[in-house]
């Protein structure tokens, strides 16, 4: 008798064989792994007797923190403890009055009470940065407004009255020996004299 196994059944057989091959080592590992650890006897230690100490309530609480039983002796001990605040009520917000020091059998004069601290003085704002343009001269043609030559580092600008240079400096007034420039960002005006060549 011959079994006809189709292609579909062959793939299912291969998957089942692979799963069984994976499952066998896992089962063996689980049985032998747990049995070897449980069969080992735990190491025995002999308790060393300690000298008897006077145990305080805090030590007893720390020592028996894993014990779930109610310890009435600790409760009774904690009920007998009285709070000593030294004359200060912890439930009221009040200032503790300092004791005056005694010197040579007589009481020294108490220091005068300190008043509230004065409010801090506000720091003044920093001065605006100086305008670093140089005025080198002017040029004028008939029937045209007067123009000035201004330099910043290696850049040279030509501007007339009312123009804004470098999107920041406005030419306010042009005179024969000086130019008044306003820093638009800081509202700072500065008169720049004619720089000799």
Reading the chain (197 residues) residue by residue, the pLDDT tens digits are 455 556 678 889 999 999 999 999 988 888 876 555 444 555 555 555 555 555 555 555 555 567 778 888 888 888 888 777 666 677 777 666 666 655 554 555 556 667 777 888 888 888 888 888 888 887 888 888 888 888 888 888 889 989 999 888 999 998 888 899 999 988 889 898 887 76
Q: Which two tokens stand for residue 107?
A: 């009481």
The whole-number pLDDT of residue 78 equals 85
Q: Which two tokens stand for residue 94?
A: 């009040």
Expressed in angstroms, the distance from the first to the final Cα of the chain is 121
Q: What is the pLDDT of residues 80-118, one digit of tens each?
A: 887 776 666 777 776 666 666 555 545 555 566 677 778
DSSP E strands, the chain: 102-103, 106-107, 134-139, 147-152, 155-160, 164-165, 169-174, 178-183, 188-193
3-class state of residue 91 by DSSP: coil
The whole-number pLDDT of residue 91 equals 76
Question: Whole-model pTM?
Answer: 0.38
């Amino acid at each position: 008798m011959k079994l006809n196994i189709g292609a579909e059944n062959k793939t299912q057989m291969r998957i089942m064989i692979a799963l069984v091959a994976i499952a066998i080592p896992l089962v063996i590992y689980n049985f032998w792994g747990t049995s070897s650890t449980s069969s080992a006897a735990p190491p025995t230690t002999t308790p060393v007797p300690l000298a008897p100490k006077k145990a305080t309530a805090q030590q007893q609480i720390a020592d028996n923190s894993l014990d779930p039983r109610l310890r009435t002796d600790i409760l009774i001990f904690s009920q007998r403890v009285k709070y000593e605040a030294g004359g200060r009520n912890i439930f009221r917000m009040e200032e503790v009055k300092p004791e005056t020091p005694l010197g040579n059998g007589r009481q020294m004069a108490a220091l005068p009470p300190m008043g509230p601290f004065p409010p801090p003085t506000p720091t003044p704002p920093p001065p605006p940065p100086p305008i670093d343009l140089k005025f080198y001269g002017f040029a004028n043609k008939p029937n045209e407004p007067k123009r000035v030559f201004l330099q910043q580092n290696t850049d040279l600008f030509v501007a007339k009255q009312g123009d804004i240079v470098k999107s920041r400096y406005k030419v306010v007034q042009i005179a024969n020996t000086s130019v008044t420039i306003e820093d638009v960002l800081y509202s700072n005006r500065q008169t720049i004299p004619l720089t000799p060549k």
